[in-house]
Amino acid sequence: MGAKEESVELKAQGNKYFAGHEWLNAIDYYTKAIDLYDQDPLYYCNRAQANIKLEQYGYAIADAKKAIELDPKCVKAYYRRACANTAILQSREALKDFKTVVRLEPKNQDAKLKLAECEKIAKKIEFMRAIEVDDEPSAFEGLDIDSMAVDKSYDGANLGKEMTQEFVDDMITRFKNGKKLHRKYVYQIIAAVRKIVYDEPTMVEMEVQEGHKLTVCGDTHGQFFDLMELFRLNGFPTESHYYLFNGDFVDRGSWSTEIALLLYAYKWLHPSAFFLNRGNHETDDMNRVYGFEGECKAKYSEKVFKLFSESFSALPLATLIGKKYFTLHGGLFSDDKTTLDDVRKLNRHQQRQPGQQGLMMEMLWTDPQTVPGRGPSKRGVGLQFGPDVTKRFCENNGLEAVIRSHEVRMEGYEVEHDGRCITVFSAPKYCDSTENKGAYINIGPDYKLDFHKFDAVPHPDIKPMAYAQNSLMSMM
C-alpha cells in the first residue's frame, strides 16, 4: 500500500473518531494522514472542523488556509474559516469567506443565511464598540430596589436585607423546576455581590484553615444540572467548606442565569468562604455572541444583563491559595518579568473589558503548550506558554503550581509542565457534544491536591446555545 492509500485509511479512522465526538483522536488521525500525504485539502478541512469543536480556532483558521492554498475553490475550507473567525469575533474576516462561499455556490441557501447572520453580528459588534465610553453611567444608578414590590402571586421564599440558606435552598428547587426568581430578588443579589467583589483585591489571597477545605472548580458554562451533581457528590458550600469557581460560569449552556445567580447567592451568603474569579466569558463581547445576553433578556430583561455585565467587570482576576497556587482562568504572561506583585497592583476597575492586549487579556485567555517558549494562540486570541515559562514564573514567585481552567480536558483535569500547570474543567459532556468528564480539586490545610472526576447527568431537553442570537454559534 502506498502512502496516499494509507493516508485515506487514516482519514477514515479520523472520521470515525469525529463521529464519536472524540475530537482529539480525530485530530491525531487527520494529522497522521497529512504527514503521509499533504496535498488533499479535505484532510485539512476535516482537521479544521475538529479544531473548531475543541475551540482551537487559531489552528482551524490555519488548516482552512492551507486547504484553500491547495484548492482555491474548496467551499468547505472557506466555510470553516468563516465559522472559526466568527467564534473569535473576527466578523469582518468571516464575512469575506461567507461571501466567497455564496459566490462559489450561488444556490447554497444555508450559506446565504449564514452570510446574512454574520453581517448582523459584525454590525452589532461594531455598533456596541462604537458607543462604549469610559465614563458610561452605572447600570445601578437610579435603581431603587427597596421600592420594588414582590407580587402576592410569587410562590418562592422571601429575601430580606441579607441572604439566607433558606432562600438559597428555595432558589435551587425553583431552578430545578424551571422557575425564575422575582425581578426584585435578581436585582438585590447582583447589587449585593457587585459591591462585595468590587471591594476585593484583583488577586484575592486566602488560606485553608484547620478543619476546613477548599474546592476549586473550573468552567461550568451554564450546565446547571451538572453543577448540582458536583455539589451532590462533594457537598454544598458552607463556612468551613470553601469553594472557588475559576471563571466561565456563563455562556454556551442554557442555564447560565441560574448558575450565575446561584453562585452570586453563595458569595453573598459566605463572602469570606466563597470565591469567584473572572473568566473570558464574563465579558460583554462573548456574552453577546454565546448566549448569556440572550438568556438574560429571555428570562428576565436587558437591564439584568447590564447589571450582570457591570458586576462581572468587578470580579477579581486571580486567587492565591496558601501562597502556593496561583489560580486564574487562562494562564501566564507574555513577559517573564511579570510577577504576583504586578497582578496585585493591576487596577481592574479602570478597564471594564479585557481588550486585545495587556495583563487582563492574558490572564483570561492564554493557554499552555507542550514545547518550550511562547507561541501563537491555538484560539486565535492571546498566546501560549511552555513548561519553561511556567517553571520560571513559579520559581520567581515562590509557587508550587499554577491552577487554571479555560480548556476542555477529557478526564476533567490535566497536570502538565512537570506538575507546575494544572487545568481543571467542570462542565462534563461539554455542550452535549464532547465526551469529557468534569472535575474539581479539593485542597485541605496541608495543601495537597485531591482530584475528583464526575460524569454529566440528564437535563431538560433544552439544547446548548438555545439563547444565542444566531445559528452560527450553534455549529461551534
Catalytic entry in 221, 281, 329, 406 = 281
H helix runs in 275-314, sequence order? 284-290, 292-299, 302-312
Do residues 260 and 250 touch, judged by C-beta distance below 8 A? yes
Q: Is 281 a catalytic residue?
A: yes
Closest CA relative to residue 385, chosen from 374, 401, 398: 374
Q: Which amino acid is at 115?
A: L
CB neighbour burial string for 107-118, b if at least 16 within 10 angstroms, e if fewer = eeeebeebbebb
Nearest to 209 by CA among 246, 244, 240: 240
User: How far is residue 320 from each of residues 3, 146, 204, 228, 366, measured CA to CA in Å?
Assistant: 52, 36, 6, 26, 18
Q: What are phi and psi of 239, to 5 degrees?
A: -70, -20
Nearest to 58 by CA among 395, 383, 300: 383
Strand-pair category, 241-246 with 367-368:
unpaired
Which residue shows C-alpha cell 487559531? 58
Cα gap 445→214, rounded to integer Å:
9
Whole-Å CA distances, 111 to 3, 72, 472: 35, 17, 10
Helices (H), 177-255: 183-198, 224-234
Could you tell me the sign of the dihedral formed by the alpha carbons of 41, 45, 50, 52, in that order?
positive
Question: Which of the residues are catalytic?
Answer: 281
